[in-house]
Structure 1
Amino acid sequence: MKHIAMFSGPATALWISAPFMSLISTALVGRRSSTHLAALGPGTVFCDNMNLLFMFLSIATSNLVATSLAKGDKKQVQHQISMLLFVAFICGSLMLLFTQFLGSWALTSFTGPKNVHIVPAATKYVQIRGLAWPAVLYGLVAQSASLGMKDSWGPLKALVIASTVNGFGHVILCSFLRYGIEGAAWATMASQIVAAFMMIEALNKKGYNAFGFSFPSFSDFLQIFVIAAPVFVTMFSKVAFYSLLTYFATANGTHTVAAHQVMIQMYSICVVWGEPLSQTAQSFMPELLYGFNRSLKKARILLKSLVIIGALLGLVIGLVGMSVPWLFPNIFTPDLKVIREMHNVLIMFFIALSVSPCTHSLEGTLLAGRDLNFISLSMSGCFSLGALLLLIVSSRGYGLPGCWCALVGFQWARFFLALRRLFSPNGVLYSEEDQFELEKMEAAKL
């Protein structure tokens, strides 16, 4: 418990920083204009959700670095960092070009003809934030390398300074200069660039070269692909579902998508409290599963601790997260129609959020054990069923509550599938000897 707290405590701040800043954007922009608040919905889909799509870089970096360090191969760690930084820079440059030249077209297609009036504001937001894409992905790999080395304090220092820049930028540009959604975009973009350079500096201080590129060989590409491809499918399924959620909410009109924007930002800032438990599993499990001090028994004890912490954390963040839009909705908007829509989904908000930290613990363990095919297939299945449910509730006119019911089903399906996989005899936490013992116990019971 002590080791988990010392690592996951600072890591929590890393995960909460981005959604917290998005929540500030939502509050400051929403008080000025409901139209700008609605424009943040598709705008954040193309910025924050697309950023999640590239989390395969983060997971691949943490996994490769933690595994190589468990084997004592520091030279291999430097090589892996260099080639992943190269991949991150290329991906970031492509995303920059996409947002500048195809951003307006993509947003128009996403919002539909009923909401064409929010496209200009959303486009400006996406294009401004898109300038930071190379720095965002480069910094993501640098941060994940530090986390793979079980260091969460170095990245935390970077995020504290970047968040301060972001906060002051929002207040000055949105509140005093009244730039609205454009001011929020400039403040966020500037803070992301600051964060990236500080993540790089934190990695350099550990004795690794964070400015050295290394073009991956075919075997390197294959190694990355084995991890990244299933993780990409997993993250794509998750991002696609959240994007569909916003898409169907957008189809219900400006007030509905404005309410959804507030609730999904509250959900985002709360759900990331479970991410450090996933990162803890990814950083500590490889040593217990593959290292010199391999111990599956200790791995199961670690997972049990993570799940207990996750269950308690889920209840706390669920209650706290639900109480803010319930008791203090005027923080985000004075529009009574928007507030009414927000209050209609509070129960679903709590049910979906309460299970997420436990789910992160389980999925992080699956990622650490490289049970990647299962997690990608299960997430794809959850996405397919969730998308079907969204289509049904939308066609029958259930509105925003129907959309959030689909989110509840999506989250709990992920939890039960991961739980069943990990505690099955074929799971990554059980060896052939463990499986034999389990079979003997089951036979004795019969």
Structure 2
Amino acid sequence: MKQAPAAPESDRRTSRHRHDREIVSLAVPAFGALVAEPLFVMADSAIVGHLGTPQLAGLGIAAPLLTTAVSIFVFLAYATTAAVSRRVGAGDLRAAIRQGMDGIWLALFLGAVVVAAVLPAAPSLVGLFGASDTAAPYAITYLRISALGIPAMLVVLASTGILRGLQDTRKPLYVAIGGFTANGALNLGLVYGAGLGIAGSAWGTVIAQFGMAAVYLTVVVRGARRHNASLRPDLAGIRNSAQAGAPLLIRTLSLRAVLMIATAVAARLGDADIAAHQIILSLWSLMAFALDAIAIAGQAIIGRYLGAGDAHGAKQACRRMVEWGVAFGVLLGVLVVAARPLFVPLFTNDHTVQHTLLPALLVVALTQPVAGVVFVLDGVLMGAGDGPYLARAMLVTLVVFAPVALLVPTLGGGLTALWWAMALMMTVRMLTLVLRARSGRWLVTGASR
């Protein structure tokens, strides 16, 4: 009788260890794939930078436009992961792959629409960024050529969602590494070997992107044939995929609006402030990749549990992933503080920028545990297919953040005050997500929500 209480504790330890193994097996490769993706732009910048300042300036204008055009459709990965993992949990792999094919067809349709819009609008889009007369032609050239790769990148997003839903984050890692390697080799050969200049860089990236899409499609088609799943477009299924992704699109656009407002406010504060802000944003994005890897694991694991009808298992997994998020947030915050004398000089030797940067950086470090909770619960609710709530919560966050951030230039406090506004934004996100998680309303079981 005295040993009876040991059994529940033993069960809890076993459950934690099982969740830990699942999280690590999915999150570590996902982190590698997430970090590999921005290396495309870094490689292009390094290669184009040696052509001259006008060419690099042109790339600096075109690259953010392309990144935005792709990132707003990230719901293709998130919504597909949730839908596929539910069907995996329900034991219906044929329906899981069929659901994923609907996401791929939607990606091709959206990609074609974006290309049709960007090609004629390229000069106007470049003009909105105030490109100089010397940089504008290079920006237009790069934008028009690279836009041809957008359908491929959207297919990559949807296919990545399929594999994540199938609990496989290793293949996306391998494809990302292969794509980055091919991109670098092609760019070097076309820019310098073939003498195509910035156009060669764009073509190299497009070829690498279509190569990645081809690899993904090969994997998906093989899986479809193995499980006798149809590859033909299904209008009802495509429409359902679009409806499931629409709330996540609203969420993503609201988040992008937060970042744009923050950058606009920083620009109004002065050159030193905007320079310091860009450094912090780069660091913040890198830390976001680490936390987002846990969120991706959450999408796949939660969807599978709910698809299997195991609401209790989903709740336990959620609790364990939140613990991981907090722990990693604390670790990242400590690393930021401890390593700041080492990495700050790598970005700038300007003492004014450094002086502006350091107090704001401490605010970022303090908010990393909050960010850990936010990223994890964001992934959990995505995996549960709770997109409409995520859209509403992010709109509320935007409404709270925008007036506070816009008042910073008037009330004073500089960049540090702006990043306190960002901390407020993350806190509001955390509160809305924690309230939803504790309500249990996201625990909807079954092969579809």
TM-score interval (norm. to shorter): 0.7 to 0.9
Tell me: CA distance 1:286–1:54, structure 2 relative to 1, closer, same or farther (3 Å): same
The equivalences for 1:178-217 within 5 A come to: 188-208=205-225, 214-217=232-235
Counterpart of 1:86 (choices 86, 105, 116) is 105
Calculate the TM-score normalised by the size of structure 1.
0.79
Letter matched to residue 100 of structure 1 = L
> Contact between 1:362 and 1:419, CA under 8 Å: does it hold in 2?
yes
The answer for unaligned runs of 5 or more in structure 2 is 1-19
CA contact (8 A) 1:278 1:364 kept: yes
- How far 1:427 sits from its partner (Å)? 2.9
Moved more, 172-181 or 306-315: 172-181
Q: Which residue of 1 aligns with 2:442?
A: 428
Which residue in the other structure is 1:266 paired with? Answer: 283
Residues 28, 332 of structure 1: 8 Å contact kept: no
Aligned partners of 1:34 and 1:258 also within 8 Å: no
In structure 1, what is the equivalent of residue 73 of structure 2? 54
Q: Deviations over 1:21-76 (max 9, x none)?
A: 54666788899999988877765542333322101211221122122222333333
Q: Secondary structure at the match of 2:168?
A: coil
Letter in 2 for 1:223: N
Q: Distance in 1 between matches of 2:130 and 2:186?
A: 32
Structure 2: which amino acid aligns with 1:215? Answer: P
Which structure 2 residues correspond to residues 236-251 of structure 1 after superposition, within 5 A?
236-251=253-268
1:72 paired to 2:87: no
1:155–1:221 distance in 2 versus 1, CA, 3 Å: closer
Q: Alpha carbons of 1:32 and 1:411: their partners in 2 closer, same or farther (altered >3 Å)? A: farther
Q: 8 Å contact 1:273–1:357 — kept in the other structure?
A: no
Stretches of structure 1 that go unaligned for 5 or more consecutive residues are 432-446
* 1:439 paired residue number: none
Residue of structure 2 aligned with 1:346, choices 361, 364, 369: 361
The answer to whether structure 1 residue 165 and structure 2 residue 179 are counterparts is: no
| CA shift digits 1:177-196 (9 cap, x unpaired) | 99998887666555433332
Percent of residue pairs identical: 22
Q: Once the 2 structures are TM-superposed, how far is the Cα of residue 401 of structure 1 from its aligned partner?
A: 3.5
CA–CA distance in 2 between the matches of 1:177 and 1:355?
A: 49
Q: RMSD value over aligned CA atoms? A: 3.9
Contact 1:58 1:141 in 2 (8 A): yes
Q: What does 1:202-351 correspond to in 2, within 5 Å? A: 202-208=219-225, 214-217=232-235, 219-251=236-268, 256-291=273-308, 294-320=309-335, 326-333=341-348, 338-343=353-358, 345-351=360-366
Q: Which range moved further: 252-261 or 223-232?
A: 252-261
Shift of residue 142 of structure 1?
1.2
Secondary structure, counterpart of 2:407 in structure 1? helix
| Contact map agreement 2:325 2:372 (CA 8 A) in 1 | yes
Partner of 2:422: 407
Tell me which amino acid in the other structure corresponds to 1:201: T
Which segment drifts farther, 24-33 or 77-86? 24-33
Change (3 A) 1:225 1:133: closer
Q: Does the 8 Å CA contact 1:79/1:214 hold for their aligned counterparts?
A: no
Conserved 8 A contact 2:79-2:385: no
Asked if the contact 1:248/1:394 (under 8 Å) is kept, the reply is yes
CA distance in structure 1 between the partners assigned to 2:39 and 2:368 by the alignment: 16
For residues 406 and 175 of structure 1, do their structure 2 counterparts lie closer, same or farther at Cα, with a shift above 3 Å needed? farther
Whole-angstrom distance in 2 between the partners of 1:69 and 1:2: 19
- Compare 411-420 and 339-348 and name the one that shifted more: 339-348
Q: 1:206 and 1:60, CA in 2 relative to 1: closer, same or farther beyond 3 A?
A: same
Q: Quick one: distance in 2 between partners of 1:14 and 1:343?
A: 30
